[in-house]
Chain A
Amino acid sequence: MVILELQGITKSFGGVKALSDVSFVVEKGQVTSIIGPNGAGKTTLFNIISNFYKPDSGKIIFEGKDITDAKVYECAKLGITRTFQNIRLFYNMTVLENVLVGLHVKAKSGFASFFDAIFRTKGFFDTEKALRERALEVIEFLGLEDYINTLAKNLPYGLQRKLEIARALAPSPKLLLLDEPTAGMNYKEVSEIMDIILKIKDMGITVLLIEHQMMLVMGISDKVVVLDHGVKIAEGKPEEIKNNEKVIDAYLGREEAETYA
């Protein structure tokens, strides 16, 4: 079953064509990776899927609905959350608070929530309790339970990356976008992230991943999409991609391809 379908996405910034006519589908429950050299348009594509940018042309179909014109803040409600290539945490909030903000869409909104907060109704405490339980569950899943009250900015780098995943994972999204979750991590941390992604997949959450670590990409992806200069040059199973001449020339290089062949 297809959860996300991109139809002919084109996006230019001034004279630079960041993406031209990119189309592919993401199957529900799978891990799909986007790879390609720097500047290939991977992050731009993420920004378009999370509705942060509007494409010049093309459509984004999520669960059969056209979400091209959705607002940024509506994405989380639809079930799409993401992490960022450059970590964007709420640095002066604690780990717990960060995850609770991630759960923002999971509680009553508007005046009802304001009324509840001011008068501290039973509903308020019930909601807070439920949110906290869920937050703690996610925090434990990512192994951050010793840092619940630590300010995000005082966390070591690797844990900041994990906290970002926790925040995005908290509302149980249908589609999780991970933008280079292992950037700047060592070998041990990369394999940890790999385990985490596989577990997330087991939860039934579809993962779309941007990654440069070929070990990770080839190890866990069900499908790989390769971008180069804003153009999709290949897509398919990891084994097919490894042996694709175009991909080897544009991105993998001879040696790397042999290593993972």
Chain B
Amino acid sequence: MLAKIKDEFSSLSKRDILILSALGIIALLPIIHYLAIGGTTSYYLDVSIKVCVYLLLALGLNLVIGYTGLLDLGFIGVFGIGAYTAAIMSIHGYHFLISSLVAIIMAMLFRLIIGLPVIRLRGDYLAIATLGFGEMVRIIVNNLDPLTNGPRGLPGVGQKISNIDFGILSLNSSLEVYIFSLIVVALGALASYRIEHSRIGRALVAIREDEIAASLMGVNVSKLKLFIFVISGIYGAVAGIIYTHHIKFITPNLILFWDSILLVSIVVIGGIGSIPGTIVGAILFYGVPELLRDFLGSQLAEFRMLTFGLIMLLMIIFRPQGLIPSERRKYELKPETEKVKEEEDENLFDLEKR
């Protein structure tokens, strides 16, 4: 029985294995391209790193929106906190590990402080409150001149520490940053998967389904909501850290409301509560438009938002469960199994004949 339980938790479905191998191959493409051109910089590699950054953010947001059902519209704020903390610490000469640790702690504190009041709100109210806190971060960063250099942004990240060295991996080239991001994304996805398939994950989904019933089953709803709110902050902070150390220059334009919306779209269209869906969503919604910019010219890329609206509408009409729905949600939007539907159709047909 124990072996069976372990199997149940570690075995992936055929679909998941297929998606994972496909993603693995896609992840290798930028590396191959980089090695092929033999250069020191590669546009595709840069785009891939940014996709990883958005992917981490989307994975974090998926914990909050996908599992727990809290519509968080200000998630980009925690990204800003992580990025700015890492940048400021790094400019003052702190080591990568220390600045990262502080950035993560700051992000978690931020989520805890805004979480305490926000978590008590429901539905639309929660969405509006989180939206406000997200905007607040941008405005503060914009105006806190002595610390953040305001709208001019912070240059020179990583100049004082010439070398980040983990022995085999130092974060000095795009390739190394990319490999580092891939590892972090893989760990993030694994952690997310393990949270979902555990007592905590079940309780989170139960909260999404019926808060009252969940609390009467002994789930401490507000504590658990706050907990996952804070944990999702780690994903946001790590994304910010990678971004900062890769671009080495950050401005308040990093923390736009539009990016929060982009993230929500990635989670919703990818398939709410589905990790593979979130990954594919991030690639499609961040990676593909960036690549198309190359082919179609920057002018057409500006129509991105317009295209987004169209895709959103089409998705809502034709595939409301998302691109790759979570296994559990797969059947939930169909009224019954196909067989029952067929039988019903037959019965109707018979009635017409009579």
* A binding-site residues for B, Cβ under 8 Å: 50, 52, 71-77, 81-82, 84, 88-94, 97, 100-102, 104-105, 107, 113-114, 116-118, 120, 124-129, 131-133, 151, 153-154, 167, 171
Contact = CB atoms under 8 A, between A and B. Distances in A.
Given A52-B216, A154-B336, A117 B200 contact: yes
B217 A167 contact: yes
Contacts of A126: 2
Contact of B215 (A73, A92, A107): A73
Nearest to A51: B216
A117 B199 contact: yes
Contacts of A91: 209-210, 332
A72 to B, nearest CB: 5
Given A125-B5, A129-B1, A151-B331, A97 B217 contact: no
B206 A90 contact: yes
A105 B209 contact: no
A93 B194 contact: no
B205 to A, nearest CB: 6
A144 to B, nearest CB: 17
B114 interface: no
Q: Which 5 A-B pairs have the closest CB atoms?
A: A76-B218, A117-B198, A105-B218, A90-B209, A88-B213
Contacts of B221: 73
A90 B68 CA distance: 13
Contact of B216 (A75, A120, A124, A153): A75
A71 B219 CA distance: 11
B203 interface: yes
Contacts of A118: 191, 194-195
Nearest to A153: B332
B338 to A, nearest CB: 13
Contacts of B194: 117-118, 120
Q: Which of B5, B197, B212 has the most CB of A within 10 A?
A: B5
Contacts of B206: 90, 93, 101, 104
Contacts of A84: 213
B129 interface: no
Interface residues of B, number: 36
Nearest to A76: B218
B92 interface: no
5 contacts: A73-B221, A90-B213, A93-B205, A117-B199, A128-B199
B217 A104 contact: yes
Interface string B3-22: 00110010000000000000
B218 A107 contact: no
Interface of B: 1-2, 5-6, 9, 191, 194-195, 197-203, 205-206, 209-210, 212-221, 227, 328-329, 331-332, 336-337
Given A90-B213, A129-B2, 11 more contacts: A77-B218, A84-B213, A88-B213, A90-B214, A101-B202, A101-B219, A120-B194, A133-B1, A151-B331, A154-B336, A154-B337
A81 B329 CA distance: 28
Contacts of B329: 92
A121 to B, nearest CB: 11
B214 A94 contact: no
B218 to A, nearest CB: 3
Contact of B218 (A104, A116, A131): A104
Q: Which of B206, B210, B217, B332 has the most CB of A within 10 A?
A: B217
B167 to A, nearest CB: 24
A126 B3 CA distance: 11
B217 A93 contact: no
Given A94-B328, A129-B5, A132-B5, A171 B210 contact: no
Contacts of B337: 154
A74 B9 CA distance: 29
B210 A89 contact: yes
Given A97-B202, A128-B5, A171 B195 contact: no
A96 to B, nearest CB: 10
Contacts of B5: 125, 128-129, 132
Contacts of B198: 113, 116-117, 124
A92 B216 contact: no
A104 B219 contact: yes
Contacts of B218: 73-77, 104-105, 171
Contacts of A154: 331, 336-337
A120 B205 contact: no
A104 B199 contact: yes
Nearest to A128: B5
B334 to A, nearest CB: 9
B326 to A, nearest CB: 10
Q: Which of B6, B199, B206, B336 has the most CB of A within 10 A?
A: B199
A101 B217 contact: yes
A123 B336 CA distance: 38
Given A125-B2, A133-B1, A81 B199 contact: no
Contacts of B205: 90, 92-93, 97
Nearest to B220: A73
B1 A120 contact: no
Nearest to B197: A117
Nearest to A94: B328
B173 to A, nearest CB: 31
Contacts of B197: 117
A93 to B, nearest CB: 6
Given A113-B200, A127-B199, A72 B216 contact: yes
Q: Which of A102, A117, A126 has the most CB of B within 10 A?
A: A117
Given A107-B199, A117-B200, A118-B195, A88 B212 contact: yes
